[in-house]
Amino acid sequence: MTPPLDIPIRKDDDSTSLDVGAASPRSFQSISEIAHEALIRDLAECSDEGDPDTETPLSFLSDEEEEGEDGELHYTPTLYRRPEGVAFGAARPVIGVVPASHDEGVLTKVEKKQCRDAERSLLRDNHFLPPKHPVSEHPNLFRRIYKHVFSTKVRGTGYDTFDEETTSETTPLIKTQSHTRPGHEGHEHLNEQWDAAVAAGQIHTTWQREAKTITVYSRSLILTFILHYSVTVTAIIAAGRIGAAELGAVSLATMTANITCYAPFQGLTTALDTLCAQAYGSGHKHLVGLQVQRMSFFLTVLSIPVAISWWFATDILRLALPNETASVELAGLYMRIMILGIPGVWAFECGKRFVQAQGLFHATTYALLMGAPLNILISWTLVKKLGLGFVGAPMAHAFTQLLLPLLLYLYVVFVQGSHCWGGFTKRAFHNWGPMVRLALPGMIMVEAEFLAFEILTLVAGRFGTDALAAQSVIVTLTSILYQIPFPLAIAASTRVANLIGSKVVEAAHTSAKVSIIYAAIVGTINMAILCGGRFYLPQFFTEDEEVISIVAEVLPICAILQLLEGLASMSHGLLRAIGRQSVGGYTNLFVYYSVALPLSFGTAYGLGWDLQGLWFGVTIGIFLVASIEYWFIYSSDWHQAVKDAEDRNASW
């Protein structure tokens, strides 16, 4: 019988705190004591039943070790980045906080190589290592201009000259005491270079490098988020072009689905971010599949009351909107059909966590690259080609929800990831307590954010069918544009946190400034798109002239919101980067419920501004959130953040 693995625990106050869909660097992650307890129980049960999965794979090596070709362990640097290519939910909460109390565990061999490459690149830019490619002594004019504008090299550091005959990447330029074991000079000297340069405060970065890095980090995230949200957008366009009542019905149905199914299920599955990653890092990979099975069965049970509520959605919505008979009836029909897709919702959320725990972040992107275009084709076929009309939209949506986890399953079976599946087991029906305790905080926070945003849609329904249809168009347009600044903030958060964790505060400051400018540029572009296209963009969703007119009146306010929301998203990301994400979470919820919503209701009803009033309150709320968070970021001691990171690393 194999004894349970003694897993070290990092003591943190925010082991179940909310993070925005990115795997933060190890410095700012915590291993939950609840997850530790669950893992120990599972290992004990496995040992009692004689399960053979007891080896410690390469992924269980510590950050500071790497297995060499000769089987020896090499010391490895610790700078590392890993933004997740994982989309969340059917729509985004307006305040932009998505949970991922994610314990990344330990690094694989490939990830360690990326870590070394990242440090080596920064050392080259700071002239502690010779250039990767030979430098021409007499560059032409084009080359000089290119170097001046796009070069990531730090200027004026005084390390610009190398003797290539005596200097190499394995020769320390800053002399330090050597602890190199025979035969392993390369890894040790790189680490000496890095530690010495950091200790001397001589690691800097440039805006060119940070702009390039954040762009690379965010591009796959943006694609994934847009693809995932396109599934909902396709249904809205397909139904909305039939009529205003149908467009309003899709908005009501989506709102109800968000607050009764999508948000709770998304929040509950955040427990797998910790449980699956910790199981994978422990070396007992079959426990990843066990945790996914537990959550799947748990969500299957919860799907029963959800399905019942959706079946009677017409009666429930009629109580809230007694005057919107046509839209309510159609929304109820939409949700009855969507019951068929509920298993696909929880299966895809669980599947994302299954591949994510193994570092297979592009698996979800590949599934969406196939699923999103198929969804458009199926929607067109059912709604137009076969003439099913409104009914075809939810049928296509439900089919796509079932298709996405199937595509993810095929990726795992035929590409990679199946080694973490140990088969179905009766143990999946035991030890649910720790999982539920981890899941509930994430569910409560996500539900609170989605509920706050969806209240606006419910209120919009009281202004009439046209206003409800216009609200559907506005929410969709703003959500589409939000799929750019949100993943951009995830990438920036990861980058800045990596630099903080590597104790290079000045470089982290530079990266943060570039990120804020990036967010302002993206927000300005989004603002220009809404202002310039306010009469044209609504025509993609509806042909109703009254709805188009209402949308055009509200979009200028939403355009200002896009600029503020881009900046607010980045402030959320920077707070996560310095390990103070709880400040953003509580600030968002307080401002939204105590300022934004009351102000929205006051201007909408008291001043008679209708939809313009609803969005005016939201805009003021986002402005306050961004102002408070940037003030906190500006006044924070980032050197203290480095010390906190060191303490957490020491605990690990």
Q: How confident is the model at residue 138 (pLDDT cuts 50, 70, 90)?
A: low
165 lies in a domain? no
pLDDT of residue 155: 65
Q: Please tell me the least confidently modeled range out of 19-28, 422-431, 537-546.
A: 19-28
CB atoms within 10 A of CB 580: 20
Token pair in block for residue 493: 């958060």
> How confident is the prediction for the chain on average, in pLDDT?
76
229 lies in a domain? yes
Q: How confident is the model at residue 22 (pLDDT cuts 50, 70, 90)?
A: very low
- CA-CA-CA-CA dihedral for 319, 95, 589, 453, to nearest 10: -10
530 lies in a domain? yes
What are the contacts of 522-526 at 24+ separation with CB within 8 A?
522/484, 522/485, 522/488, 522/566, 523/485, 523/562, 523/563, 523/564, 523/565, 523/566, 523/567, 524/563, 526/481, 526/484, 526/485, 526/559, 526/562, 526/563, 526/566
Question: Which residue(s) pair with 66 in the sheet?
Answer: 74
On the question of pLDDT at 597 being above 80, the answer is yes
On the question of pLDDT at 375 being above 90, the answer is yes
Report the domain count for the chain: 1
Give me the mean pLDDT over the 326-344 stretch. Answer: 93
pTM value is 0.77
49 lies in a domain? no
pLDDT of residue 57: 42
15 lies in a domain? no
Give me the mean pLDDT over the 86-111 stretch. Answer: 49
- What is the DSSP-derived secondary structure letter of residue 602? I
Q: How confident is the model at residue 221 (pLDDT cuts 50, 70, 90)?
A: confident
pLDDT exceeding 70 applies to what percent of the chain?
Answer: 67
pLDDT of residue 139: 66
* pLDDT tens column, 389-399: 899 999 999 99
Give 540 or 30, the one with higher predicted confidence: 540
* pLDDT tens column, 286-309: 888 888 999 999 999 999 999 999
* pLDDT tens column, 542-577: 888 999 999 999 999 999 999 999 999 899 888 888
On the question of pLDDT at 52 being above 80, the answer is no
pLDDT of residue 617: 92
87 lies in a domain? no
pLDDT of residue 173: 42
Give 187 or 399, the one with higher predicted confidence: 399
40 lies in a domain? no
Q: Please tell me the least confidently modeled range out of 100-104, 203-207, 235-239, 382-386.
A: 100-104
Domain limits at 506? Answer: 208-651
Contacts of 200 (CB under 8 A, 6+ apart): 174
CB atoms within 10 A of CB 308: 11
Contact 89, 263 (CB under 8 A): yes
Question: Which residue(s) pair with 74 in the sheet?
Answer: 66
Write out the E strands in 447-528. none
461 lies in a domain? yes
pLDDT of residue 107: 54
Q: Please tell me the least confidently modeled range out of 97-111, 172-186, 331-345.
A: 172-186
pLDDT of residue 78: 43
Q: Please tell me the least confidently modeled range out of 117-126, 133-142, 409-418, 419-428.
A: 133-142
Contact 65, 75 (CB under 8 A): yes
Give me the mean pLDDT over the 223-239 stretch. Answer: 89
pLDDT of residue 400: 95
On the question of pLDDT at 350 being above 80, the answer is yes
Which residue is associated with the tokens 């496995």? 46
Amino acid, single-letter form, for residue 5 = L
Amino acid, single-letter form, for residue 230 = S
pLDDT of residue 156: 58
Buried-state track 13-28, b at ≥16 Cβ within 10 A, e below 16: ebbbbbbbbbbbbbbb
Alpha helices in 578-637 (DSSP H): 581-591, 597-601, 611-635
